[in-house]
Structure 1
Amino acid sequence: MLEKIGEEALGNGMTVEWALCDDVESPRTWEDNLGHMFTWARGYDSPDEHGYKHPEDFMKSMLEEHFTFEELAEAVRSGMFESLRLEKDERGCERLEAMYRSWLTGEEAWDVVEDYGDYPDSETLSEAIAQCAEAPALLSQAVVLKTVYMLDHSGGAYSTRDFRDRWDSGAVGLIWADEDDIASWFGGVPTSREKASKRLDFEVERYSQWVDGETYAVMLSDAEGNVLDFVCGYIGDDGLEVGIEDMREQAKRAA
């Protein structure tokens, strides 16, 4: 469905018109993207499909993929995790004790204490760390990782920056890219983490614009009203301006 919102006479009898267009697929499905954007907002689809029921399941999988047992153990021994500790008992056995706090929601469960027994393995450590508020900080040492926030008020909005609305917003997921993703996206050219991080910001903003209905169609017509070109799928104000400019250039070539 189209809702015309503007037009411009090009001076040679041609006219470019633009309209809101609600028949645009998610940019996560038809555009090339650097990041993987996973969310767990109740009642909303994740931008990218995934098979993780809980964010902690995803975190555990990523920790096991990117860190060795000794690296995980050293992170715990360093005191990085407020709710975890590895200590030796009277027999010299190293034991892991955990008090959980969700890294995504911040909800605490300090009354839950679990003893993992003698010499925990890599899977045990990754499972425990995945529950911790500091887990994303550790994973960020291996991948470029950003928290995704959602504002659920008269429609949805997404950002890598906290909306700071205590009633209608909060963290709902992550967007991330590993070394292989970054190398592929930037064609093997050495790329800073900061540059990759900015690209992830852009992808979340673009998805938010799509969710908010900032999707447009642009049409070029001649003096008789014949449609010379029609494109639907521009997202955001910047995308709309690109579409309008493309039609202007096409009109110049046809003059």
Structure 2
Amino acid sequence: MLMAAKDAYLLLVQPDDVMISPREVDETLGTMVCFHPRYALGDHHNYIDPDDFLREMYLNTVGHDEKGMKRYEWMVNAIWSRKMTGPNRNEQAVAETMLNVISKKYIMLPLYLLDHSGLAMRTVSFHDPWDSAQVGWIYVSKEDALKAFGAAEMTPKIREMTKKALRDEVEIYDAYLRGECYGYELYEKGELKESCWGFIGDMDEVRKRIAEQLPDDCKDLVDQLEERIRPQSVIKTFLKQAKMQIDQAAKSAGDKPKQQAFEIAR
């Protein structure tokens, strides 16, 4: 728990333990398709396995019809006979060929998962053969990318902008997997004034986004946030806020008879 106090205000920043996946609530450019035996990752899909997904994407590119299916079957048979037999066989040859064809219509980035004392995801390898592996892809059609960036053709600049947007989405999802999800509560004289949850990312970025939500006279509290581990420290701060609330209630109660007497005199 992070805590900061100033005058009558108390700001608490805590982990958001019921955070919903950003893939379900955020508007996204890309579609994240993942396969894992234990974890439900990325966006919902109905593909059986990576081969099923790549085959569908391949057919979407060359034509989802009889001609496209024949082209797919010919490609698989040709690669099997040339590259997937013998001493120098390449077991990824079919997938690599399909990805090359798919790239004519889609922009795709691989997704790698690290599963070691928690989960992490990124678009480049973790170089850890024991605890990490590729689990899927994030992709967007070139047509949708052009619409998103208001462009007429896929230039190198638009391609890089699209890849950056996809990497940014993976970065947000990675923070979610790591548990970097937070919310805040702002108290004034012991009473909850406002709260907001669903902040994802590293703490520096979270501080900036929380400051944007706070009233002007409380924004500097984010710079004073400190980790409070000792229960005594937390309790002491809450007791101070409770005393403010009691004093305010007592003052209000004391002012009430005076107000009534004033009204009678009138």
TM-score, normalization by structure 2: 0.67
Name whichever of 244-253 and 53-62 sits farther off: 244-253
Measured on the aligned residues, the alpha-carbon RMSD in Å equals: 3.1
Quick one: which amino acid aligns to residue 202 of structure 1?
D
Contact 1:36 1:176 in 2 (8 A): yes
Cα distance in 1 for residues equivalent to 2:138 and 2:97: 17
* Structure 1 residue 41, shift from structure 2 partner: 1.5
Name whichever of 156-165 and 177-186 sits farther off: 177-186
Cα distance in 2 for residues equivalent to 1:60 and 1:177: 16
Other-structure match for 1:199: 165
Other-structure match for 1:99: 80
* Structure 1 residue 6, shift from structure 2 partner: 1.1
The counterpart of 1:217, out of the listed 175, 183, 189, is 183
Q: What is the aligned length?
A: 204
Other-structure match for 1:121: none
Other-structure match for 2:50: 55
Cα distance in 1 for residues equivalent to 2:184 and 2:162: 31
Correspondences of 1:1-255 after superposition (within 5 Å): 5-9=1-5, 11-68=6-63, 96-99=77-80, 110=85, 131-186=94-149, 188-189=150-151, 192-222=158-188, 224-237=189-202, 238-251=204-217
TM-score, normalization by structure 1: 0.70
Cα distance in 2 for residues equivalent to 1:134 and 1:158: 25
Cα distance in 2 for residues equivalent to 1:242 and 1:143: 35
Contact 2:10 2:187 in 1 (8 A): yes
Name whichever of 165-174 and 132-141 sits farther off: 132-141
* Structure 1 residue 165, shift from structure 2 partner: 0.2
Other-structure match for 1:120: none
Identical columns (%):
28
Other-structure match for 2:224: none
Contact 2:79 2:94 in 1 (8 A): no
- Please list every run of 5 or more consecutive structure 1 residues that lacks an aligned counterpart in the other structure: 77-83, 86-95, 102-107, 112-128
Assess, with a 3 A threshold, how the Cα gap between structure 1 residues 60 and 221 changes in structure 2: closer, same or farther.
Answer: same
Quick one: which amino acid aligns to residue 47 of structure 1?
G
Quick one: which amino acid aligns to residue 172 of structure 2?
R
User: Computing the radius of gyration over CA atoms, which structure comes out larger, 1 or 2?
Assistant: 2
Structure having the higher helix fraction is 2
Cα distance in 2 for residues equivalent to 1:252 and 1:215: 22
Per-residue displacement from partner, 1:79-135 (whole Å, max 9, x unpaired)?
xxxxx69xxxxxxxxxx533289xxxxxx9536xxxxxxxxxxxxxxxxx9933332
Per-residue displacement from partner, 1:176-212 (whole Å, max 9, x unpaired)?
00134324434x3457010010111111111111111
Structure having the higher strand fraction is 1
Contact 1:149 1:161 in 2 (8 A): yes
Per-residue displacement from partner, 1:63-85 (whole Å, max 9, x unpaired)?
11122569x96xx9xxxxxxx69
* Structure 1 residue 218, shift from structure 2 partner: 1.2
Per-residue displacement from partner, 1:10-49 (whole Å, max 9, x unpaired)?
x453232201111110000000011000011111113101
The residue matched to 1:158 in structure 2 has which SS?
strand
Quick one: which amino acid aligns to residue 200 of structure 1?
L
- Please list every run of 5 or more consecutive structure 2 residues that lacks an aligned counterpart in the other structure: 87-91, 220-266
